[in-house]
């Protein structure tokens, strides 16, 4: 609907951002309800989320979205009104509807055609909860097609308008019409006790946001006996009518037992979009309807005229007679305060990601510059106690602080990711017919945005695996003495500068005998191999491995755990498995907090400066004569604490120089792999350990083997960041479990 230079496009974009927040709130609310705490406020939050999405969607003409949200909202309203209990069945549908709503939002955002099949199916499921009301509420078109002009007023169009002052409102053509009585002054006067007079005048924004006065009035009716009078004195002649501007308001007299703020809460969603005054009838009993006009502020009604016919002229001609500037404040002010108390408001700023990227880059430059400065100061031979050196130390500290703060800007809680996973659990458990409950822990744990984005796919795969392969069928669970409902636990936590994400199921654990058999059958390991339990578990990560005996909807799509491991490794992380037979399996992913900086070891090989990720370096050694043993020509090992570790000459592996002939006195680095196997790299020299800013390499022309990225050193030169596992694979040896080496590794 919008083009690039459409000013609406921006507003529309912010609506969709808002939608994401609302959908998150919706998910949260449903989760809280599922956890058993279905207080009124939570249901309100859920309702409000759906309602606000509907409102925004209405303003942008996203009809499909409005239609679905409306029906969803109607059912939630039943819950809110206490007419419908949220049982497990209802909750399931609510969750599905929330998922679908999020789909619809996404699809609407892309201007793609909406999926009608799922929508119809879900609408049916939702309507099932409405019972008799379903039909009446069914066609939302009437509700969203809010046209004040559509009401049947008994109105002489040629008239100057004075007859229109108090006309009975006929609500017959609106959905379930509340039993509005014609306004009867006597009735109002007779009212005693908890009687309120409510003046409600919609502003243009109220209709823009998809609200419907009739629904509000109907909600109001549930609070007690009510009479409604429609105020039409502002209605201009047809020739001067601007359809977008509402010209009618209502005066409601309500006899009720509830508190005033409960009445105000009915109008919660239209707060600020209308003029609202709630006053106790007793308080104003002395001067009845004459005050009504006074209560109408200028903003809502351009022409707050009294009943005098002569003032009904072009709006601008009549100055406001007695405006009351703060009509709503007193009655509804307590509402926002209450909301703030229930959900502590975080003050956040939405920033374009590009700007943050720029800041991150600039800070990277700063770090590099700082390193250059310290190098040149070092060379200048200044005393370590000089002002320049101590100033530099302060500068270094500041740089580090700035860097940390900037990285924190990109950090996001993993919550949104976890919410996506709860959806995956719902969908995949439904697909395989298992009852699964997802427990999430540490949703507030913050990780770099890029890490979160790139974790989504591996996590989805692992969650599906846990549901499909990890958990047993309900019958088997009962037979094993467990609850029929399976549990998947997804947790995130910070641990020593990294984030650890665990996916744990309480299923049967890895069937090691079967895993071993499959690996042997597929020729991944020799038939006579004797592997430890951990080694068997790690077989799951081998390419081409699948434990699924039957290819189900979820698995067998050619994506294996090897892909997961590759994705995790690409993020600089590692993944490990632990499994206890009968008790379940846990996958543990350890990731760096950010992809922008790296603690690196700066080394020198054949005159080139290179950087190795520090977390991979286990140990540094200097070789003595006789440490190196040749296994076969070109293949050497060293003995490290009674184990043999393959040795790689980094200079040769990178093509920087011919192979070394003797290794005496060479510096070697012991490198650990994700599966805890080791390799030793021969280098010339260790220069430094420092934090480096990771710069991506453009690989569109040439992808250098063994190189993960680059960084800029203090002298402005570029140093390449090594990917040791790639080097080792390229050098022709797979180091994980020497007896499982696939032969084709040599040709890579």
Q: CA-to-CA distance for 304 and 297, rounded, in angstroms?
A: 7
Q: Does 698 bind other proteins (CB under 8 A)?
A: yes
User: CA-based angle 190:220:300, to the nearest 5?
Assistant: 95
Which letter does DSSP use for residue 324 in this model?
-
Q: Does 700 bind other proteins (CB under 8 A)?
A: yes
Closest to other proteins by CB, 381 vs 696, is 696
Cβ(200)–Cβ(267) below 8 Å: yes
Cβ(555)–Cβ(464) below 8 Å: yes
Residue 353 beta carbon to other proteins: minimum distance, rounded to whole angstroms: 17
Residue 713 beta carbon to other proteins: minimum distance, rounded to whole angstroms: 9
User: CA-based angle 33:39:40, to the nearest 5?
Assistant: 115
Q: Please tell me whether residue 84 adopts helix, strand or coil conformation.
A: coil
Residue 449 beta carbon to other proteins: minimum distance, rounded to whole angstroms: 21
* Selected binder of other proteins within 381, 550, 702, 747 (CB under 8 A): 702
Q: Does 690 bind other proteins (CB under 8 A)?
A: no
Stretch of 15-23, 265-273, 411-419, 647-655 lying at the interface with other proteins (CB under 8 A):
647-655
Stretch of 1-9, 39-47, 198-206, 689-697 lying at the interface with other proteins (CB under 8 A):
689-697
* Selected binder of other proteins within 697, 729, 737, 741 (CB under 8 A): 697
Q: Does 720 bind other proteins (CB under 8 A)?
A: yes
Q: Does 361 bind other proteins (CB under 8 A)?
A: yes
By rule CB under 8 A, what string of x and - marks binding of each residue 368-407 to other proteins?
x---------------------------------------
Q: Does 365 bind other proteins (CB under 8 A)?
A: yes
Q: Please tell me whether residue 82 adopts helix, strand or coil conformation.
A: coil
3-state secondary structure string across 456-506? HHHHHHHHHHHHHHHCCCHHHHHHCCCCCCEEEEEEEEEECCEEEEEEEEC
Q: CA-to-CA distance for 244 and 265, rounded, in angstroms?
A: 26
Q: CA-to-CA distance for 262 and 258, rounded, in angstroms?
A: 6
Closest to other proteins by CB, 37 vs 362, is 362
Binders of other proteins in range 314-343 (CB under 8 A): none
Q: Does 492 bind other proteins (CB under 8 A)?
A: no
Closest to other proteins by CB, 584 vs 706, is 706
Binders of other proteins in range 599-628 (CB under 8 A): 608
* Selected binder of other proteins within 643, 717, 738, 748 (CB under 8 A): 717
Residue 587 beta carbon to other proteins: minimum distance, rounded to whole angstroms: 33
Residue 731 beta carbon to other proteins: minimum distance, rounded to whole angstroms: 12
Residue 211 beta carbon to other proteins: minimum distance, rounded to whole angstroms: 45
Rg over CA atoms, the chain: 35
Closest to other proteins by CB, 259 vs 715, is 715
Closest to other proteins by CB, 26 vs 363, is 363
Q: CA-to-CA distance for 477 and 559, rounded, in angstroms?
A: 27
Residue 712 beta carbon to other proteins: minimum distance, rounded to whole angstroms: 5
3-state secondary structure string across 160-200? CCHHHCEECCCCCCCCCCCCCCCCCHHHHHHCCCCEEEEEE
* Selected binder of other proteins within 696, 743, 744, 747 (CB under 8 A): 696
For residue 720, what are the β-bridge partners?
610, 710
Stretch of 124-132, 347-355, 360-368, 465-473 lying at the interface with other proteins (CB under 8 A):
360-368
Q: CA-to-CA distance for 360 and 382, rounded, in angstroms?
A: 32
Q: Does 359 bind other proteins (CB under 8 A)?
A: no
Closest to other proteins by CB, 326 vs 700, is 700
Q: Does 701 bind other proteins (CB under 8 A)?
A: yes
Stretch of 222-230, 246-254, 715-723, 734-742 lying at the interface with other proteins (CB under 8 A):
715-723
Q: CA-to-CA distance for 273 and 205, rounded, in angstroms?
A: 5
Stretch of 46-54, 194-202, 296-304, 358-366 lying at the interface with other proteins (CB under 8 A):
358-366
User: CA-based angle 554:556:558, to the nearest 5?
Assistant: 120
* Selected binder of other proteins within 182, 548, 718, 748 (CB under 8 A): 718
Cβ(410)–Cβ(449) below 8 Å: yes
Cβ(251)–Cβ(183) below 8 Å: yes
Q: Does 747 bind other proteins (CB under 8 A)?
A: no
Half-sphere exposure at residue 601, Cβ-oriented, CA atoms within 13 angstroms: 21
With CB under 8 A as the rule, give the number of residues binding other proteins: 27
* Selected binder of other proteins within 159, 695, 732, 745 (CB under 8 A): 695
Half-sphere exposure at residue 163, Cβ-oriented, CA atoms within 13 angstroms: 9
* Selected binder of other proteins within 655, 658, 659, 738 (CB under 8 A): 655
User: CA-based angle 621:623:624, to the nearest 5?
Assistant: 135
Q: Does 732 bind other proteins (CB under 8 A)?
A: no
> Which residues, 6+ apart, have CB-to-CB distance to 4 below 8 Å?
none
Closest to other proteins by CB, 336 vs 634, is 634
Q: CA-to-CA distance for 505 and 583, rounded, in angstroms?
A: 8
Q: Does 290 bind other proteins (CB under 8 A)?
A: no
Stretch of 140-148, 155-163, 660-668, 717-725 lying at the interface with other proteins (CB under 8 A):
717-725
Cβ(274)–Cβ(300) below 8 Å: yes
Residue 376 beta carbon to other proteins: minimum distance, rounded to whole angstroms: 16
The sheet that has 667-672: what strands, in order across it? 617-622, 667-672, 678-683, 643-649, 635-640, 628-632
In this structure, the chain runs to a length of: 748
Determine whether 561 is exposed, middle or buried from the number of CB atoms within 10 Å of its CB (0-12, 13-18, 19+): buried
Residue 717 beta carbon to other proteins: minimum distance, rounded to whole angstroms: 6
* Selected binder of other proteins within 237, 559, 656, 672 (CB under 8 A): 656
- Which residue ranges make up the site for other proteins (CB under 8 A)? 361, 364-365, 368, 608, 653-656, 695-698, 700-702, 704-707, 710, 712, 716-720
């Amino acid at each position: 609907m919008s083009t690039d230079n459409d000013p609406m496009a921006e507003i529309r974009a912010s609506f969709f951002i808002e939608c994401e927040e609302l959908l998150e709130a919706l998910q949260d609310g449903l989760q809280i309800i599922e956890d058993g705490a279905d207080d009124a406020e939570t249901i309100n939050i859920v309702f409000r989320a759906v309602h606000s999405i509907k409102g925004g969607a209405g303003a942008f003409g996203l009809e499909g979205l409005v239609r679905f949200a409306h029906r969803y909202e109607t059912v939630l309203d039943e819950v809110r009104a206490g007419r419908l209990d949220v049982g497990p069945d209802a909750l399931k549908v609510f969750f599905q509807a929330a998922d679908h709503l999020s789909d619809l939002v996404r699809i609407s955002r892309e201007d793609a055609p909406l999926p009608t099949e799922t929508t119809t199916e879900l609408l049916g499921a939702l309507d099932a909860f409405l019972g008799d009301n379903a039909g009446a509420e069914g066609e939302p078109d009437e509700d969203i097609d809010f046209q004040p002009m559509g009401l049947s007023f008994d109105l002489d169009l040629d008239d100057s308008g004075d007859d229109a002052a108090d006309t009975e409102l006929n609500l017959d053509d609106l959905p379930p019409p509340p039993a509005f009585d014609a306004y009867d002054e006597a009735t109002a006067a007779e009212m005693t006790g908890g009687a309120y007079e409510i003046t409600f005048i919609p502003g243009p924004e109220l209709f823009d946001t998809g609200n419907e006065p009739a629904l509000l009035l109907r909600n109001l009716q549930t609070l007690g006996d009510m009479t409604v009078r429609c105020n039409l004195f502002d209605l201009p002649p047809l020739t001067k009518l601007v359809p977008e501007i509402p010209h009618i308001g209502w005066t409601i007299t309500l006899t009720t037992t509830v508190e005033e703020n409960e009445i105000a809460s009915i109008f919660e969603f239209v707060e600020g979009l209308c003029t609202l005054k709630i006053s106790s009838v007793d308080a104003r009993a002395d001067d009845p309807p004459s005050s009504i006009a006074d209560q109408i502020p200028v903003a809502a009604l351009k022409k707050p005229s009294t009943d005098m016919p002569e003032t009904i002229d072009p709006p601008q001609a009549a100055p406001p007679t007695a405006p009351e500037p703060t009509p709503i404040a007193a009655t509804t002010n307590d509402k926002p305060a209450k909301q703030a108390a229930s959900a502590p408001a975080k003050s956040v700023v939405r920033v374009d990601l590009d700007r943050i990227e720029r800041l991150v880059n600039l800070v990277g430059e700063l770090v590099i510059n700082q390193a250059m400065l310290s190098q040149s100061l070092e060379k200048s031979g200044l005393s370590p106690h000089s002002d320049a050196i101590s100033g530099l130390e302060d500068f270094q500290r500041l740089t580090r602080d700035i860097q940390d703060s900037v990285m924190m800007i990109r950090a996001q809680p993993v919550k949104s990711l976890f919410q996506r996973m709860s959806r995956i659990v719902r969908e995949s458990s439904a697909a395989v017919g298992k009852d699964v409950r997802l427990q999430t822990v540490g949703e507030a744990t913050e990780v770099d945005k890029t890490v979160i984005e790139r974790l989504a796919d591996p996590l989805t795969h692992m969650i599906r695996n846990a549901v499909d392969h990890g958990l047993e069928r309900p019958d088997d669970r009962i037979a094993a003495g467990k609850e029929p409902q399976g549990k998947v636990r997804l947790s995130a936590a910070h641990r020593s500068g990294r984030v650890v994400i665990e996916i744990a199921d309480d299923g049967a654990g890895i069937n090691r005998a079967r895993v071993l058999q499959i690996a042997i059958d597929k020729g991944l390991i020799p038939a006579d191999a004797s592997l430890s339990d951990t080694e068997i578990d790690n077989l799951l990560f081998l390419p081409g491995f699948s434990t699924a005996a039957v290819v189900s909807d979820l698995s067998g799509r050619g994506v294996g755990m090897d892909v997961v491991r590759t994705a995790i490794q690409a993020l600089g992380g590692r993944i490990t498995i632990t499994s206890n037979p009968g008790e379940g399996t846990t996958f543990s992913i350890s990731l760096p907090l950010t992809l922008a900086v790296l603690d690196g070891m700066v080394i020198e090989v054949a005159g080139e400066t290179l950087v190795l990720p520090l977390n991979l370096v286990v140990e540094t050694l200097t070789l003595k004569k006789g440490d190196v043993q040749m296994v076969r020509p070109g293949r050497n090992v060293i003995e490290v604490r009674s184990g043999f570790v393959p040795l790689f000459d980094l200079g040769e592996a990178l093509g920087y120089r011919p192979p070394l002939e003797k290794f005496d006195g060479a510096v070697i680095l012991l490198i650990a792999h994700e599966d805890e196997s080791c390799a030793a790299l021969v280098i010339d020299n260790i220069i430094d350990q420092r934090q480096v800013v990771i710069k991506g390499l453009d690989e569109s022309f040439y992808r250098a083997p063994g190189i993960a990225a680059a960084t800029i050193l203090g002298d402005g030169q570029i140093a390449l960041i090594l990917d040791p596992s790639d080097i080792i694979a390229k050098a022709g040896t797979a180091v994980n479990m020497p007896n499982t080496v696939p032969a084709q590794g040599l040709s890579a």
